[in-house]
Amino acid sequence: MNSGKKEIPVTLLTGFLGAGKTTLLNRILKENHGKRIAVIENEFGDVNIDRNLVIGEEEDIFEMSNGCICCSVKGDFLKTLNNLIGSGKSFDHIIIESSGLASAGPIVQAFLIEDELDHALQLDGIVAMIDSPNIAHQLEEFEVAGEQVAFAHRILLNKIDLTDAETIQSARKLLQEINPDAVYHETRDAVADIDFILNIGGFRLKSDDRWNESSSIPHQHGEEAHSHSHDADINSVSLQLTGFLKPSKLNEWLQLALINDGLQIIRAKGILNVEGQDKRVIFQSVYMAFDELEGRPWEDEERLNHMVFIGKNLDKQIIEAGVRGCIE
């Protein structure tokens, strides 16, 4: 994941059809937020450019009066993104809108694994826009809706004014079962603080990362294994295990999990207890990309391995057995 110096952060905006992505992007292109943001809409998008706010246009790249830029993917996503970088336009951040019927996976893979993108770019985070009144049905009927949730670092529960409190609470519960690690925010009319969707740092490990202290992984003594799922194919498994875990073995197991165990793990993240280390080792894995970083000292805290795995039809017994095989 740390494959070179990258300077321009990129946010991927995902969400099912009708969730409110277009409304959010229109706000970004029109409001005076003081940031120069390049918005790349997907080819099926419907971002209506207000011609009164366009102060420059060149090869389908529109420059808005608030300093933002808008362009559309026409066929080749990688080519569109690299062309934007080479356009000479100045911007501080890029927001990419994915199709409402597409998983975030291919775009994440393009950034983290493939070497076809300009190295001035860094995938910063994924934001999922949720149609709160209809998300339960979407999760049940469309696998891609669950994948969009699974990849997200920030989740916006939109349209809360169009349903009741019980439905919103139920929707949040379903989403947290899929992705217990995301930060959630309720909204209406796709109103969101611009800072909530920018500079997330979702793919950048930090040595003082305290993610497990606010996630849904319970802090109990001893060993625990938790599986969260519902009718959708996407679910999460949380583990707390004792013993010394070897990161290289965990990476190897994750790389071969699909072949050996039939596990389709989309994301994994956690804190590891490594032999000979006085500090936590923080890791995250997205597809085939694995990263680790030295964290805070253990001091007097119980040295437990805390992990959460998100994927398709994950079996907690198989995952626990695989992880235990990495413990020395």
Helix H or strand E encompassing 167:
helix 165-178
Percentage with pLDDT > 90 across the chain:
50
Bridging pattern class, strands 154-158 and 183-186: parallel
The pLDDT confidence band at residue 49, using thresholds 50, 70 and 90, is very low
Superfamily of domain 211-324, CATH level 4: CobW-like, C-terminal domain (3.30.1220.10)
For residue 245, the cross-strand partners are 327
For residue 269, the cross-strand partners are 284, 308
The order of strands in the sheet holding 224-228 is: 224-228, 234-241, 305-312, 264-272, 279-286, 289-297
Pick from 235, 222, 120, 133: nearest CA to 180: 235
**Helix orientation angle between 247-261 and 316-324, rounded to the nearest 10 degrees:** 140
pLDDT value at 67 more than 80 = no
Nearest-5° angle of CA 26, CA 30, CA 35? 105
Instruction: Please determine whether the domains at 8-197 and 211-324 fall in the same fold group of CATH.
Output: no
3-state secondary structure of 125: strand
The better pLDDT of the pair 279, 211 is held by 279
User: What would the pLDDT profile of 99-146 be if each residue is shown by its tens digit?
Assistant: 888 888 888 888 877 666 666 788 999 999 999 999 999 999 999 999
Average pLDDT, the chain: 82
The domain ranges of the chain are 8-197, 211-324
**Helix orientation angle between 165-178 and 143-151, rounded to the nearest 10 degrees:** 70
Superfamily of domain 8-197, CATH level 4: P-loop containing nucleotide triphosphate hydrolases (3.40.50.300)
Taking the model in full, what pTM does it have?
0.81
pLDDT value at 55 more than 80 = no
Mean pLDDT for 28-54 is: 69
pLDDT value at 1 more than 50 = no
The dihedral formed by the CA atoms of 175, 267, 109 and 46, expressed in degrees to the nearest 10: 10
Q: What is the pLDDT of residue 70?
A: 78
Mean pLDDT for 8-23 is: 92
Q: What is the pLDDT of residue 205?
A: 77
pLDDT value at 56 more than 90 = no
Q: What is the pLDDT of residue 230?
A: 45
User: What would the pLDDT profile of 211-266 be if each residue is shown by its tens digit?
Assistant: 544 344 333 334 554 554 444 588 899 999 999 999 999 999 999 998 888 888 99
Q: What is the pLDDT of residue 125?
A: 95
Mean pLDDT for 189-204 is: 91
The pLDDT confidence band at residue 286, using thresholds 50, 70 and 90, is confident
Q: What is the pLDDT of residue 115?
A: 65
